[in-house]
Amino acid sequence: MRKPTVCISHATGAGGEEVGRAVAERLGLRYVDDEVIGEAAEWAELDPRLVAGVEQRRSFVARLLGHAAERTAPTRLPPGYAVRTPPTDEDLRGLITDVLRSFGAQGGVVIVAHAASFALAGGEVLRVLVTASPGTRAARVAAERGVGAREAERVVKGEDAARADYLRRFYGVEREEPVHFDLVVNTDALEPARAAELVAAAAAAR
């Protein structure tokens, strides 16, 4: 029997990484997060920071690509020398999506973040959203990052905006909805360990 693929989307401070790791451990699956960027960079022989940058705000990526071009383009080319054109946003997005689909095709993985639930929509995957109220999330961010309450609230709002921007740019999703997922767990009501039990049970049932 093919091992399941679980895609976990999560809001900052909701505990999605903790849930994902616990699900992977319970089901004996591979946990994948940063490996997505590493694999994409390896496929295209690019700096991982360049690939990761496309998941952030467009203005940041534009600056990064511009600086990279300035640093790498020689003022005078020797005979037979070809300049490698910097990848576009679209190139990098397609690369990340292809890597996600590769992991999904292999099965036996828990993929956290990178909007994998949208990249693999329609496939044989369990798509999960891990969320919580803004207050709960801000409190967790404050504790985890050692910042004050006001700064934690700012972080949560900023990362929520970045997440919405990411979904819009990558997948044309104007508003993330519960119906985009097979299972939604609220860690206001459930501790991450209990949430992981439910996700693992749902994955095993599929």
CA distance 122 to 33: 21
pLDDT band, very low/low/confident/very high, at 84 (cuts 50, 70, 90): low
What CATH number does the domain containing 120 carry?
3.40.50.300
pLDDT band, very low/low/confident/very high, at 51 (cuts 50, 70, 90): confident
- Its sign, for the CA torsion 73, 90, 102, 197, is positive
Q: Looking at residue 50, what is its pLDDT?
A: 84
Domain membership of residue 79 as a residue range: 5-205
pTM, to two decimals: 0.81
pLDDT band, very low/low/confident/very high, at 86 (cuts 50, 70, 90): confident
Residue with tokens 């790791």: 21
User: Comparing C-alpha atoms, which of 90, 102, 96, 85 is closest to residue 51?
Assistant: 96
Q: Looking at residue 91, what is its pLDDT?
A: 87
- Higher pLDDT, residue 197 or 46: 197
Q: Looking at residue 63, what is its pLDDT?
A: 40
Contact, 153 vs 134, CB < 8 A? Answer: yes
- Its sign, for the CA torsion 181, 183, 186, 187, is negative
Contact, 31 vs 15, CB < 8 A? Answer: no
When pLDDT is averaged across residues 49-60 and rounded to a whole number, the result is 70
Contact, 167 vs 113, CB < 8 A? Answer: no
89-106 and 34-44 helices, crossing angle to 10°:
120
Domain count within the chain: 1
Q: Looking at residue 77, what is its pLDDT?
A: 41
